[in-house]
């Protein structure tokens, strides 16, 4: 956990760490639409640690923005309680929650320069002028905008304007900062640069960040933990590596990155490994818990970069795990890798990312018969 610098902690106080920064206790949010009750967020119990970069990730309509709005106080739960730093704030107005928000639209004042934009909230609170200068200078340095305090927003790039919006929110020393799709208006390259910068800024200031996004890459890049939401439910909550490598449901496996999913019945179990056979040469091998039995139907996922593609019969050294034959349906060159779509003997189309070597001239083509192999530890059982 990052230690919060005293000069940047909420209201000048350091976080004690005795309580989670944010806690949901049985929180539900229902709306009335056309005479029917719609559950935007179903019963949710969740804790966000002090100084954590926490992301709410999911498709449009999954409940992630409603969840954030309940943290901010713009929406009240239908049931349950919201706690900030151990204090029940259910029913407390947004201006008394010690939380700031940054949106996709920067909402900068065009007639004010950078310094004036960042200082606006402090001036409204009647903070002493010397203190305002010190704090604004401090935060502009952290967001890499030192020396730009006299510029007008129109004279700045989109990324610089986003940093001004961040500085304006952070200079008030909130307990937590909520960010609702803040990079959505930026082009791809700038968005990727800002992802790294946001994580650096969060580490430096030590404030809890809660980030809403539908972009899986964004969440994986920046987050300490991610809550993957679907239809008002948190389907999985864990570190980026846990969610990517060990998806808890078919939805998570399909939504986070690219995942190949195949199902089949267990033919036999040996040494904690289940064998799913599709022909004399085609099989999937997967580690399984003791509760799995012969004859059970399983869903297994494997990531595209874990798979080796062979144009001929694979060598014996590659056949100790899963082996699936198939026909190449599509070949897409991506510079660092060539991506294949293969119709396999298991009845599922597989995506394979084959990293391009310096002399990678022996590429498979559409219509070629190939063999896919991967090690047992790269098969992951879904939903068991």
Query: Are residue 153 and residue 274 in the same domain, yes or no?
Result: no
User: Are the CB atoms for 354 and 309 separated by under 8 Å?
Assistant: yes
**Mean pLDDT of the 163-173 span:** 91
Query: Are residue 105 and residue 62 in the same domain, yes or no?
Result: yes
Query: Are residue 82 and residue 183 in the same domain, yes or no?
Result: yes
Query: Are residue 196 and residue 276 in the same domain, yes or no?
Result: no
Average pLDDT of the chain, as a whole number: 89
Query: Are residue 216 and residue 247 in the same domain, yes or no?
Result: yes
Which stretch of DSSP H or E encloses residue 372?
strand 369-374
pTM greater than 0.85 (yes/no): yes
CATH label of the domain that carries residue 227: 3.40.50.300
Query: Are residue 227 and residue 269 in the same domain, yes or no?
Result: no
- Among 253, 272, 297, the domain-final residue is 253
Q: Find the length of the chain.
A: 384
Query: Are residue 281 and residue 243 in the same domain, yes or no?
Result: no
pLDDT tens column, 250-307: 999 999 989 999 999 999 999 999 999 999 889 999 999 988 999 999 999 999 999 9
User: Are the CB atoms for 15 and 50 separated by under 8 Å?
Assistant: yes
- Among 226, 253, 280, the domain-final residue is 253
Q: What is the residue range of 334's domain?
A: 262-381
pLDDT tens column, 281-295: 899 999 999 889 999
| Count of domains observed in the chain | 2
Query: Are residue 316 and residue 243 in the same domain, yes or no?
Result: no
List CB contacts of 223: < 8 A, sequence separation 6 or more.
53, 54, 55, 211, 239, 240
- Among 253, 270, 286, the domain-final residue is 253
| 167 assigned to some structural domain | yes
| 1 assigned to some structural domain | no
pLDDT tens column, 314-361: 876 666 799 999 999 999 988 888 999 999 999 999 999 988 865 556
Query: Are residue 233 and residue 364 in the same domain, yes or no?
Result: no
**Mean pLDDT of the 100-118 span:** 88
Which residue has 């004859």 as its token pair?
295
Query: Are residue 28 and residue 165 in the same domain, yes or no?
Result: yes
User: Are the CB atoms for 224 and 192 separated by under 8 Å?
Assistant: no
267-273, long-range: CB within 8 Å, 24+ apart, which pairs? 267/294, 268/294, 269/293, 269/294, 273/376
Query: Are residue 178 and residue 235 in the same domain, yes or no?
Result: yes
Query: Are residue 216 and residue 71 in the same domain, yes or no?
Result: yes
């Amino acid at each position: 956990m990052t230690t919060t610098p005293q000069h940047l902690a909420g209201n000048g106080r350091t976080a004690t760490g005795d309580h989670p920064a944010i806690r949901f206790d049985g929180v539900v949010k229902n709306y009335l639409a056309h005479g029917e009750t719609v559950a935007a967020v179903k019963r949710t119990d969740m804790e966000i640690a002090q100084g954590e970069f926490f992301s709410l990730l999911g498709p449009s309509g999954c409940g992630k923005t409603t969840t954030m709005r309940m943290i901010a106080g713009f929406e009240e739960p239908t049931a349950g309680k919201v706690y900030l730093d151990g204090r029940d704030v259910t029913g407390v107005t947004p201006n008394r929650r010690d939380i700031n928000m940054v949106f996709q639209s920067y909402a900068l004042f065009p007639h004010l320069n950078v310094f004036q934009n960042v200082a606006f909230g402090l001036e409204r609170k009647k903070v002493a002028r010397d203190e305002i200068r010190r704090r604004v200078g401090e935060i502009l340095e952290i967001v890499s905008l030192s020396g730009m305090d006299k510029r007008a927003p129109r004279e700045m790039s989109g990324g610089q304007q986003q940093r001004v919006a961040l500085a304006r929110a952070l200079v008030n020393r909130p307990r937590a900062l909520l960010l609702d799709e803040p990079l959505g208006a930026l082009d791809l390259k700038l968005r990727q640069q800002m992802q790294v910068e946001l994580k650096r800024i969060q580490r430096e200031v030590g404030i809890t960040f809660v980030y809403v996004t539908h972009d899986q890459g964004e969440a994986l890049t920046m987050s300490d933990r991610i809550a993957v939401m679907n239809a008002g439910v948190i389907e999985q909550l864990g570190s980026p590596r846990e969610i990517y490598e060990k998806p808890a449901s078919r939805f998570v496996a399909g939504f986070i990155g690219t995942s190949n999913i195949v199902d089949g019945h267990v033919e036999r179990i040996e040494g904690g490994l289940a064998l799913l056979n599709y022909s004399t040469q085609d099989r999937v091998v997967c580690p399984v818990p003791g509760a799995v039995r012969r004859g059970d139907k399983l869903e297994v996922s494997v990531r595209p970069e874990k798979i080796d593609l062979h144009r001929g019969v694979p060598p014996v050294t590659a056949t100790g795990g899963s082996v699936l034959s198939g026909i190449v349906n599509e070949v897409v060159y991506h510079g660092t890798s060539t991506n294949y779509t293969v119709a396999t003997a298991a009845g599922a189309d597989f995506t394979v990312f084959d990293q391009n070597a310096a002399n990678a001239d022996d590429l498979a083509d559409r219509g070629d018969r190939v063999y896919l192999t991967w090690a047992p530890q790269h098969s992951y059982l879904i939903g068991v």
